[in-house]
Structure 1
Amino acid sequence: MDHLKAMQCLVRAVELGSLSAAARELALTQPTASKQVAALEKHVGARLLTRSTTTLALTEAGKRFYPKARGVLEEYAAALADVRDQAETAVGVLRVNAPVSLGVLRLNALLLAFMQQHPRIEVELVLNDRFIDLTEENVDIALRLGGPPPGNAIARHMADSPRWLVAAPTYLHAAPPLHTPADLLQGQQWLRNAWLSAGDLQLLGPAQQRMAIPASAHYRSNSSLALRDAMLHGAGLCLTPAWLVQDLLDEGRLMRVLPEWNGQPQPAWLVYPQRRYQPLRARLLLDYLARALVALPGFSAPL
């Protein structure tokens, strides 16, 4: 048995979602692809895939074997390129992870533009708001907001987004006047992330003045998109990163409040697994995002 070909068949079946798709790409028949994976499972001594006519999934053993097999194939491709002195080809699948709001509002457009530049690269964008294990979930590149970054991966601090006090004109027209920081303590309606619903808001002002606002939120959500929409509906005042609302501020649909007072900036990190070899497709995307993130509305170079 050719172990490299069998591992390639397994890896591409996982990435493409079916053995038949992997077989077509590798110019094999579907029965041949199935036999290669079965032979690999026999050699390993464990079932790696569960298969039916419509679904394919990694077993627990497969979840451990897959990232290592993928790494072996990448190392082999790099060795061939070095020996042959050939330029590597920008081709293959990239699995990218990001927070939901940032992915929908900003990252989605960036990735589509990247794919137009590199039509042989495929991207799978996985959006969620939890910090995932990149190796366990087969993620090539993640974009993380806040910190600190995970210690078991490489993290590059690419940009910062200031946090501003923001509200809709309809809210500001009906709410108690906001002329000084003390007015923040007088009957304001606050919107906050669900996991930050308790505790004071920390603000920085002129000459590094500090102020703690005991802002008990009357509306909370675990979704930044929901909070953005609530602000637009005039539901309250929110301390929010600029990237989430910069377009709405530019359009005049939201307004900054007490602009000399701000929260701590929100850092943006590019995170990727610690591996000796990064395929060209991953290096290209990392370089592209490093340039593009800092130019997005509401972001700036790290402070």
Structure 2
Amino acid sequence: MNKLGKSLPPLASLLPFEAAARLLSFSRAAEELNLTQAAVSRQIRALEQDLGISLFERRNRAVFLTDAGRELSVSLSHALREVASTADRLRGVLRKSEVVLLCQPCEAFHWLMPRLSSFHQQYSSIDLKVVTSISPLTEFQGYFDVAMQSSNRDHGLHPLLFTAPDEVFPVASPLYLQGRTCIGLDELASHTLLHHDSLPAYQLEWDTWLATFGHQLPAEAGGLVFDHYSLMLHAAVEGHGLAMGWRRTSQRMLDSGVLIAPFGQSVHLAEALSVYRRHGPTPREQVNLLIEWLCSELT
């Protein structure tokens, strides 16, 4: 008796449900899957009838997941990602030397790129493919072997290999500071603060960084907001204000003098960055070599 076949819901309904649950919209799910909204709605109703429960609350043209819908969405997204990654791996079976490293754009641009030549010289037989994403691992849809991301982001079932420390402090360009090399926290109200807006938020932004020293974000301080850390750093280099800098990704700019650290205060984070291995079979030798190299460079 095929127990799996008897337990599984209608397979045709799973992709429409996954898309609608992720996007919280039947119409956007239909657009993504190249279906009509009526077809998506019909498939989801068939799924609900099969399970005997409601997966969505439908309110005034908006849809919201029920508790059961959220539970199914988490389980289904994990299962579909595993199937997709296995398919990707099988399609590239002849490229056993390729290793995929997933990281956030800021680490890729400011930390990894200057070190790539060293990696290639040491491991010339490995074809390293770098992909970037600003989303947590639980939302990344593609394939990877090893991933680096901020430690406060969801990682799902992917095993944690190790963490790395970092140091956080404000930075600015000499142009912006007009010859000054030191600023006190009590002077922030007269400065322009550059903010990095991300979801989830970085472990330390201006408000949380200041709170560690018993200060609050000055309400009267000017501010500019950026959705990418690298863009915020570039704005600091161009003299637009004070940015919250992380040692790992701003060190080269500090060394070159295009940025300086005008405050005496800094915050040390013992577990700022986390490195994960993809959930699944024992990794290949090439993957283990990349992990060893990352550990030696980061810790």
Fold similarity call, TM over 0.5: yes
1:181 aligns to what?
A: 185
1:268 aligns to what?
A: 273
Root mean square deviation of aligned Cα: 3.7
Q: Among residues 177, 202, 211, which one is paired with 2:208 in the alignment?
A: 202
**CA–CA separation in structure 1 for the residues paired with 2:206 and 2:245:** 14
Q: Among residues 168, 177, 188, which one is paired with 1:172 in the alignment?
A: 177
- Contact kept, 8 Å, 1:204 with 1:211, in 2: the verdict is yes
Identity percentage over the alignment?
17
2:194 aligns to what?
A: 191
Which letter does structure 1 place at the counterpart of 2:278? P
The 1:201/1:264 distance shift into structure 2, 3 A limit, reads: farther
The 1:94/1:135 distance shift into structure 2, 3 A limit, reads: farther
Q: Quick check: 1:67 aligned with 2:85?
A: yes
Q: Among residues 159, 170, 176, which one is paired with 1:154 in the alignment?
A: 159
- Contact kept, 8 Å, 1:67 with 1:135, in 2: the verdict is no
Offset of residue 239 of structure 1: 1.6
- The SS at the match of 2:215 is strand
Which letter does structure 2 place at the counterpart of 1:293? L
- What do the CA deviations read for 1:96-133 (whole angstroms, capped 9, x no partner)? 11111211222134344323333332222112222234
Offset of residue 163 of structure 1: 0.7
The 1:256/1:70 distance shift into structure 2, 3 A limit, reads: closer
Offset of residue 63 of structure 1: 6.8
Aligned length: 215
- Contact kept, 8 Å, 1:201 with 1:214, in 2: the verdict is no
Q: Quick check: 1:223 aligned with 2:228?
A: yes
The 1:227/1:147 distance shift into structure 2, 3 A limit, reads: same
- What do the CA deviations read for 1:49-75 (whole angstroms, capped 9, x no partner)? xxxxxxxxxxxx9976453467899xx
**CA–CA separation in structure 1 for the residues paired with 2:222 and 2:134:** 21
1:95 aligns to what?
A: 100
Offset of residue 135 of structure 1: 8.4
Offset of residue 213 of structure 1: 2.0
- What do the CA deviations read for 1:226-272 (whole angstroms, capped 9, x no partner)? 11211111100112211222122222222212222547577111111
- Contact kept, 8 Å, 1:200 with 1:214, in 2: the verdict is no
1:145 aligns to what?
A: 150
- Contact kept, 8 Å, 1:110 with 1:292, in 2: the verdict is no
TM-score after normalising by structure 2: 0.60
Q: Among residues 287, 293, 298, which one is paired with 2:292 in the alignment?
A: 287
Q: Quick check: 1:248 aligned with 2:253?
A: yes
- The SS at the match of 2:143 is coil
2:53 aligns to what?
A: none
Which letter does structure 2 place at the counterpart of 1:275? G
- What do the CA deviations read for 1:197-236 (whole angstroms, capped 9, x no partner)? 9x9612369xx74323246662221122211211111100
- The SS at the match of 1:156 is strand
The 1:101/1:179 distance shift into structure 2, 3 A limit, reads: closer
**CA–CA separation in structure 1 for the residues paired with 2:271 and 2:191:** 24
The 1:188/1:264 distance shift into structure 2, 3 A limit, reads: farther
The 1:217/1:100 distance shift into structure 2, 3 A limit, reads: farther
**CA–CA separation in structure 1 for the residues paired with 2:226 and 2:213:** 30
Offset of residue 282 of structure 1: 0.6
Which letter does structure 2 place at the counterpart of 1:202? T
2:76 aligns to what?
A: none
TM-score after normalising by structure 1: 0.59
- What do the CA deviations read for 1:6-39 (whole angstroms, capped 9, x no partner)? xxxxxxxxxxxxxxxxxxxxxxxxxxxxxxxxxx
